[in-house]
Chain A
């Protein structure tokens, strides 16, 4: 529990809590982005450089942009004057507290919590690349197929439907 971990954890939790609590949709997305950056910083603190930087590149650079694009295309200039908290907030917080208590008890009573961490392998990008190409090549190819299908689907949806031949 170092100081840097505490600071980053506070930033992440504050960002995601603000993402749930703010009224303006764009503010929510920006607060969520702060949460993403916090998680990326936690990865970097654990010396997982590839994962941390890819987190920034994918989440902040693509997912957040996707969310703001969606808001930009369908935006209403004034935020809806709904209260940020629903009328069931008491029951909701009780349920959330109960779930959190169960999870915390389950994690703290598991053997993984008290086990001494094994020596970390030297996790460089090269090792990740080798693992992707040797051991995990099939999941990689399936992910590629999935992304290609998504890309083609997006192009088909957005394509200009011209019935007459040009």
Chain B
């Protein structure tokens, strides 16, 4: 029994042990640098590989949802399609408009991808496996997320094109509007965990009562916070149904319309990496990070659980993309400021009430009531506001 537990633990810690073995060959002065470099290399290998798998999954999944096959020519079930896409994007001609601001045009995708990669530094992908155990890890994550907007602006501005400028304005407005609810939705977790460090937040969720986990998503404020966080995350990474800034049928490609070849692929990569990073943060904050859902499943390694949850969230993203129509800009903004933000504030109130009430069943009932009633009232109220009117045209009469 203990032997299997020992084996399970070493498989769980295999990367940590491997790193320690590698560092034993390095002089102690250079050890922090080498360990950081190795971890960074691992991140740079793993997450773009996940990006490749996600493009395949998305195309096949969306295809099946839309009653068609996805790509199925390039390999068995089209599995080598990402390789074909990579070759295509690497060999395409890199066209830069003459009027464009060449330096800024070149730096924009680099900044986007850099910011997207930086955000992975605080995600605990397994037990004891986090690149930088910052004391203010969650704050680091949101700070880096806010630098992505600057990259979007740089891309849209430097292309010197009306479409890209419009797309950039819309994209930045959308990203800023949804950043506030995202931060507020995560504040409830910080309130409960009492720390900004991601390792601490996951450790707080790693316990079990019976077989049930202590994940924050299994609380009233947790469920609401998770839903709000995921809506805001979908909007932050410009994903359907919030992909108006880059809608292929609307504004052609929005702020990266003048990019071709590898830079376009970098934008694509940066967007998907942002999606993975926010999903990873949602997993860390609400879904218990690397901890198993039931206490009898803890023999499966922690990093496997993290990636299972990440793939599940990605499939959720793809499902939503295949289902919902695109939101118009004003509908998007209304949703952010009139529904998501008040719900996030109410959720914070609920988290505070939860902290002070005695346990089951009183606090469940009270908190669920405080959360459900405004949600329903707000939803009904906002739906009634939309009266269908006769459309008038300003210049036609």
Give chain A's interface residues, CB within 8 Å of chain B.
24, 26-27, 30, 33, 49-50, 53-54, 56-57, 60-62, 64-65, 68-69, 72, 77, 124-126
Closest 10 pairs between A and B when the two form their complex, measured CB to CB:
A61-B146, A56-B143, A57-B143, A49-B136, A53-B139, A53-B143, A68-B153, A49-B135, A53-B140, A125-B136
Contact (Cβ within 8 A) A56 B195:
no
B143 touches A61 (CB 8 A): yes
Residues of B within 8 A of A77 (CB): 160
Q: Does B165 contact A (CB under 8 A)?
A: yes
Q: A27 and B160: CB pair below 8 A? A: no
Known: A30-B104, A68-B157, A77-B160. A61 touches B134 (CB 8 A): no
A26–B104 Cα distance when bound, in Å, is 9
Name the A residues within 8 Å of B375 (CB-CB). Answer: none
Instruction: Indicate if B369 sits at the interface (CB-CB under 8 A).
Output: no
Q: Nearest Cβ in chain A — how far from B167, in angstroms? A: 12
The smallest C-beta distance from A60 to any residue of chain B, in angstroms, reads: 5
Proximity string of chain B (176-205) to chain A, C-beta cutoff 8 Å, 1 when within and 0 when not: 100100000000000000111000000000
Cβ of B246 within 8 Å of any chain A Cβ, yes or no, is: no
**Chain A contacts for B160, CB-based, 8 A:** 77
Q: What are 5 A-to-B residue pairs whose CB atoms are below 8 Å?
A: A30-B150, A49-B139, A61-B146, A65-B149, A125-B139
Are B135 and A125 touching (Cβ within 8 A)? yes
Q: Are B154 and A30 in contact (CB under 8 A)?
A: yes
Task: Using A54-B139, A65-B153, A68-B157 as known contacts, list a sample of 12 further A-B pairs with CB atoms less than 8 Å apart, ordered by residue number in A.
Answer: A49-B140, A56-B146, A57-B143, A60-B150, A61-B147, A61-B150, A65-B150, A68-B153, A69-B172, A72-B169, A126-B194, A126-B195
Contact indicator B146/A60 (Cβ below 8 Å): yes
Nearest residue (CB) in B for A24 is B101
Contacts of A61 in B (CB 8 A): 143, 145-147, 149-150, 179
CB <8 Å contact, A62 and B146: yes
How far is B196's CA from A144's CA once the two chains are assembled, in angstroms? 22
Q: Taking CB as reference atom, which chain B residue is nearest A37?
A: B147
Cα of A24 to Cα of B105 in the assembled complex, Å: 14
CA distance A77 to B169 in the complex (A): 16
- Chain B residue at smallest Cβ distance from A27: B104
Q: Give the distance to chain A from B6, nearest Cβ to Cβ, in Å.
A: 36
Taking CB atoms, residues of chain A closer than 8 Å to B146 are 56-57, 60-62
Question: Which residues of chain A are near B104, meaning CB under 8 Å?
Answer: 26-27, 30
The residues of A that contact B135 with a CB separation of less than 8 Å are 49, 124-125
Q: What's the Cα separation between A145 and B107 when bound, in Å?
A: 39
For residue A33, which residue of chain B has the nearest CB? B150
| CA of A140 to CA of B134, assembled, Å | 26
CB distance from B337 to the nearest CB of A (A): 10
Instruction: Please name all residues of chain B whose beta carbon is closer than 8 Å to the beta carbon of A60 when the two chains form the complex.
Output: 143, 146-147, 150
The reply on B311 being an interface residue by CB < 8 A is no
Q: Please indicate the chain B residues that have their CB under 8 angstroms from the CB of A125 in the complex.
A: 135-136, 139, 196
Q: A26-B157, A30-B154, A53-B136 are known contacts. Are A65 and B144 too (CB-CB below 8 A)?
A: no
Interface residues of B in 67-103 (CB under 8 A from A): 101, 103
Contacts of A124 in B (CB 8 A): 135
Alpha-carbon gap, A117 to B101, bound state (A): 47
Query: What are the residues of chain A within 8 A of B196 when measuring CB–CB?
Result: 125
Interface residues of B in 125-184 (CB under 8 A from A): 134-136, 139-140, 142-147, 149-150, 153-154, 157, 160, 165, 168-169, 172, 176, 179
Residues of A within 8 A of B101 (CB): 24, 26-27
- Residues from chain A with Cβ under 8 Å of B136 in the complex: 49-50, 53, 125
> With A26-B104, A56-B147, A57-B146 given, is the CB distance from A50 to B139 under 8 Å?
yes
C-alpha gap A124/B136 in the complex (Å): 8
Q: Which residues of A contact B168 (CB under 8 A)?
A: 72
CB contacts (< 8 Å) of A56 on chain B: these are 143-144, 146-147
Q: How far is the CA of A57 from the CA of B136 in the complex (A)?
A: 13
Determine how close the nearest CB of chain A comes to the CB of B330; give it in whole angstroms: 12
Quick check: B153 and A57 within 8 Å, CB to CB?
no
- Distance from A54 Cβ to chain B, minimum over Cβ atoms (Å): 7
User: Separation in Å of the B85 CB from the closest CB of chain A?
Assistant: 31
Of the candidates A33, A50, A64, A72, the one whose C-beta lies within 8 Å of that of B165 is A72
Give the docked Cα–Cα distance between A156 and B143 (Å): 29
Collect the chain A residues with CB atoms within 8 Å of residue B165's CB: 72
Q: In the bound complex, do residue A72 and residue B157 qualify as a contact, i.e. CB atoms below 8 Å apart?
A: yes
Per the bound structure, the CA–CA distance linking A65 and B151 in Å amounts to 10
Q: How far is the CB of B309 from chain A (nearest CB, A)?
A: 26
Alpha-carbon separation in the docked complex, A61 to B143 (Å): 7
Give CA–CA (A60, B150) in the complex, Å.
8
CB distance from A150 to the nearest CB of B (A): 15
Q: Please name the residue on chain A nearest to B135 by beta carbon.
A: A49
Residue of A nearest to B387 (CB): A166
Determine if B176 and A65 form an interchain contact, defined as CB atoms under 8 angstroms apart: yes
Residue pair B143, A54 in contact (C-beta under 8 Å) = yes
Contacts of B145 in A (CB 8 A): 61
CB distance from B154 to the nearest CB of A (A): 7
Q: A68 to nearest B CB, angstroms? A: 5
B134: A residues at CB distance < 8 A: 49
Cβ–Cβ contact B143 & A65, under 8 A = no
- The residue on A at minimum CB distance from B337 is A155
